[in-house]
Structure 1
Amino acid sequence: MKQSILKGLTLLTLAATLALTACGNSGGNNGESNAANSGGKADPNAPVKLKIMWQGPDTRHQAMLKTQEVYTKLNPSVTFSPEYMAWDDYWKKLPTLAASHSLPDVLHMDGAYIQEFATRGTLEDLSDIDLTGVIDDKTLENLKIDGKLYGIPISRNAQGIAFNKEALAAAGIELPKKDWTWDEYFDFARNARAKLPEGVYPIGDSTTWDHYLYYQMSYGKGPIIQEDGKKFNLDKELFMKFYGIYAEFREKKIVPPADMGSAFKDNDPQADPMASGKVMTRGATVGSVGALTQLMPGKVGIVNMPVGPEGGGWAQPTIFLSVSTDAKHKDAAKAFIKWFVTEKEAGQTYGMNFGIPIYDDIYAALEPNLEEKDKLGKELYDVAKDKAMPFSPAAAGWTEWIDNYKKTMDAVMFGQKSLEDAYNEITKSGNAIAEKQSSK
């Protein structure tokens, strides 16, 4: 799956640049005098311009801009300096901003990276924001890092698989069903290959760590990265079996050729594997399936991730709003985040662009007027939650390993490296990082 909430990005500099922020980062305000930050009494009418930054498709960008307009109408002294970009660009830029102590006041965080940024001292503890009756205590406790809450969850999310129901039905292929097993998933791919036209593929190739991660977890072998990054756990038997199947699929042209697969880009009208008509299935989340539906209206079906004895995939909050330790207006930033999460007027403005709103009252207000794309997101969450396993992001210090995992498996996909060599390289580097983390 080329992109998911745990997508392995080319962030070779993340750990190094974030490490720089740990030196000399006192959580100050970059020299700007601000009574709220210095412990004095702030003037509630003093003009404040909040820098805010997020990522996503254009529909999310427009919704966020409108939400800020609404907030400024309600709070005329607060205006915004927004910056937004695509997923890849966002996560490449954020480490550089962190290293130069120039992160915005409010920023979007993702479950895949929040621990990395939090443990480097770049995010504020938001435990003092009162969310009583809005988000249950158990959910908040599960999201804490070392007892602190570094991001306020704004939506419920889940992982699943989207498929082209129109094209599959036209080819006489049985559609995927809820709680299908991994064996059924692979058999679906084999059977569909015989009925699809040349140059059209039932599933995509797999080279990212998260796709294999949940395969391993579903068979009861646990996460790959454990004990806050101090233990490495890659099951060789399952690893060889999983990627051995994909090797078979490459040989039999059940998955796209390597050059085609490496060029795919989710939610791009021409380069998306499904929207381009090249692949019949792809990974999806509650937040991303809506964008895909807009590219393929009426054609997208969803199903949960394949399951093993322990379940399959995940379903929990993964999208957060955080306040940086570089923030010049921390109190104002916290006030905006609380409003964003708790007020119906905010939720009705940004809608389902971040997934299913975390506050049930906001979703209930939206539900009567949901569009097809939004209903599909809720359907994905509902179908995923029954068998969902815990969300398992990488610990701090493992970003480079994730990137190298993909590079190594890409080499296998292109026939440049054997599977045995790939396992040995991935394991060697993983054990080295775990040993280093344990010695800290």
Structure 2
Amino acid sequence: MKTKKRVITVGFGRKKTAAMLSVLGLSLTLSACGSGSPTAQPAQGGDKNPEVKLRITWAGSQVRHDATLKALDAYTKLHPEVKFEPEYMGFDTYWTKMGTLSAARNLPDILQIDTNILTDYAQRGQLLDIGSGINTADIDPSLIKAGNVDGKQYAIPIGANAIALHYDKVMLEKLGIQVPVQGFTWDELIKLAREVKPKLDKGKYLLQDLSVSISGNETDKYEIYQLAQGKGFLHTPDGKFNIDKDTFVKFNQLFAELRKDGIVPPIDVTVANKENDPKLDNLLNGTIMIQRGYAASIGAIDGVKPGQFGLMVTPQAVKSGSFLLPAQFFAVSKESKYPEQAKKFIDWFVNDVEAGKILGLSRGPQVSKKVSEALTYTDVEKQQIDLIQKTAPIANEFKSRPKGYGSFVGEYNKISQQIGFGKITPEQGFDELKKKWQETVGK
């Protein structure tokens, strides 16, 4: 999706404003607006609320874009002095754009950020400590904790989330497959994938190849397996390398066998997947029926095929492979000229019931308990709430990723594909991952 930008204002049009000011004999300095646009009509006796223009960026689906733009409009109607300059795009281009802005020390006032990259931006001194001025009393403490780096609150969660499996409800029902309330074990899932293969048309598969990461943060395709084996996350709470070699090798050998037997798609089909593209997303185009996903992301695929998909908790083995996490955060640039106004907006965004009604679950379930309880939900939104409620009692405790993890993810994706294409062995892949960790995170 191409970057889109528009300035949201509330007030008179340019010509009408100029005419009124001329009649009143008032002078107006346009340079203070930054873009040359006129300010809102000044209050009688002087402008007590000078115009504030907040740059804000986020990534996601069209549903999220539309909902967020409506929320910005609503906020400006409440606070006419606050204007927004929004910039929004798909995930495939977002972090490239943010990297450019970060390097230029030109971050927007308010930016959407995630658990992979938060620590990088915080430890580079580019984010403001927003631990005061925003009400977090109604937000789950574990979600708030994920936005804390080195004892300071650099980010506020703006959506709740849980890792999950997306599945094609319609196809599984046709095959007579009943999804257990707490999901499958790993052994049950693999056995099921083998059993249903003869019933499927050529080129159709029950399960995604979870050993191959394509783009974005897909290290957790393997991570949910390692967690289920009782080996923890891919890093320790203090940011040390924690990929278990024996578990990693076993996992990759398992999926190599599944590829060979035609139980999961061929490697070239897997790497051609493009998330949320109706034609190239392997779940949306019917190539597979189960994939790794998130509670918060089912809305995007439901928008393409309403009522087609469901959510289940991730597979378990000796323990759960599930975890809860913020869907995203909002953070404030340390260079912002309007930090208090930015914090005031974020407080409204997460705590105001009317804001919650506008946003719905476009970023996953609302983080404020008060807001969440005030909303009514569609069937697909009820699925998200239900999945998070099922996950909460069995969730592994999640902590935001260490500095450099975003770079490590890119290296992980490359190495997983090299293993999938047979260019290196799983053992060699593990050694490469350990080396890349030292180069990206360990340094």
Which category describes the TM-score, using the shorter chain as reference length? 0.7 to 0.9
Q: Which runs of 5 or more residues in structure 1 are unaligned?
A: 1-31, 35-42
- Alignment length (residue pairs): 394
* Pairwise CA distance, 1:344: 0.8
Instruction: String of CA shifts for 1:156-210, please: whole Å, max 9, x gaps.
Output: 1111101112112213344455242111122122222222111101111122322
**Cα 1:240–1:297, aligned 2, differ >3 Å: closer, same or farther?**
same
Distance 1:123 1:352 in 2: 26
Deviation at 1:392, TM superposition (A): 4.6
SS in structure 2 of the partner of residue 292 of structure 1: helix
Deviates more, 1:291-300 or 1:386-395: 386-395
Query: In structure 2, what is the equivalent of residue 211 of structure 1?
Result: 221
Superposed CA RMSD: 2.1
Find the partner of 1:315 among 324, 328, 342.
324
Match of 1:49 among 30, 50, 53: 53
Answer yes or no: is 1:166 the counterpart of 2:170: yes
Match of 2:205, SS state, is coil
Counterparts of 1:75 and 1:225, CA distance in 2: 44
- Letter in structure 2 aligned against 1:166: V
The corresponding residue for 1:124 is 128
Superimposed CA distance per residue, residues 372-408 of structure 1 (whole angstroms, 9 cap, x where no aligned partner):
2212221221232232112254310233322111101
Q: Name 1:21's counterpart in structure 2.
A: none
| 1:398 matched to 2:405 | yes
- Aligned match of 1:421 in 418, 428, 432? 428
SS in 2 for 1:317: strand
Query: What SS does the aligned partner of 1:302 have?
Result: strand
Residue 430 (structure 1) shift: 2.8
- The match for 1:345 is 354
**In 1, Cα distance between equivalents of 2:426 and 2:433:** 11
Work out the CA distance in 1 between the residues paired with 2:434 and 2:315. Answer: 25
Q: In structure 1, what is the equivalent of residue 343 of structure 2?
A: 334
Match of 1:357, SS state, is coil
Is 1:112 equivalent to 2:116 in the alignment?
Answer: yes
Q: Which amino acid aligns with 1:207?
A: V
User: Which structure: larger Rg?
Assistant: 2
1:383 correspondence with 2:390? yes
The secondary structure found in structure 1 opposite 2:325 is: coil
> Runs ≥4 in structure 1, deviation > 3 angstroms?
136-139, 172-177, 431-434
Q: Quote the residue 1:264 is aligned against.
A: 273
Query: What letter corresponds to residue 80 of structure 1 in structure 2?
Result: F
| Rounded Cα–Cα distance in structure 1 between residues aligned with 2:66 and 2:166 | 25
The amino acid across from 1:241 in the alignment is K
Which piece of structure 1 moves more, 311-320 or 106-115? 311-320
- Give the deviation of 1:254 after TM superposition: 1.1
Match of 1:147 in 2: 151
The aligned counterpart of 1:6 is none
Offset of 1:361 from its aligned partner?
1.7
Q: Is the contact between residue 234 and residue 242 of structure 2 (CA under 8 Å) also seen in structure 1?
A: yes
Structure 1 residue 371 and structure 2 residue 381: aligned?
A: no
Distance 1:234 1:164 in 2: 31
Matched, 1:250 2:259: yes
CA separation in 2, counterparts of 1:277 and 1:87?
Answer: 23
Counterpart of 1:162, as a letter, is: H
Task: Map Cα deviations across residues 248-307 of structure 1 (whole Å, 9 max, x no partner).
Answer: 011011111112111112222111211101110112212211111122222212210011
Q: Does 1:191 align with 2:195?
A: yes
On the 8 A contact 1:54/1:108 being kept in 2, the answer is yes
8 Å contact kept, 2:33–2:51:
no
The equivalent residue for 1:359 is: 368
Per-residue deviation, 1:359: 0.9
- Correspondence for 2:29: none
Alignment of 1:271-282 (within 5 A): 271-282=280-291
Displacement of 1:109 in angstroms is 1.1
How much has 1:416 moved relative to structure 2? 2.1
Equivalent pair of 2:134/2:346 in contact (CA under 8 Å)? no
Q: Distance in 1 between matches of 2:274 and 2:58?
A: 19
* Unaligned segments of structure 2, at least 5 residues: 1-31, 35-46, 214-218
Q: Which residue of 2 aligns with 1:299?
A: 308
2: distance between equivalents of 1:112 and 1:158?
15
- 3-state SS, counterpart of residue 199 of structure 2: coil
Are the structure 2 counterparts of residues 343 and 433 from structure 1 closer, same or farther at C-alpha, using a change threshold of 3 Å?
Answer: closer
Question: Is the Cα–Cα contact under 8 Å of residues 157 and 318 in structure 1 kept in the other structure?
Answer: yes
Greater CA deviation, 153-162 or 58-67? Answer: 153-162
What is the alpha-carbon distance in structure 2 between the residues aligned to residue 262 and residue 44 of structure 1? Answer: 57
TM-score (norm 1): 0.84
2:231 to 207, 215, 221: 221
Residue 82 of structure 1 corresponds to: 86
Paired letter, 2:304: L
- In structure 2, the residue corresponding to 1:199 is in which secondary structure? coil
Q: 3-state DSSP class of the match of 2:113?
A: strand
Query: 1:346 deviation in Å?
Result: 0.9
Provide the secondary structure at the position in 2 that maps to 1:76. Answer: coil
C-alpha distance in 2 between matches for 1:423 and 1:130:
43
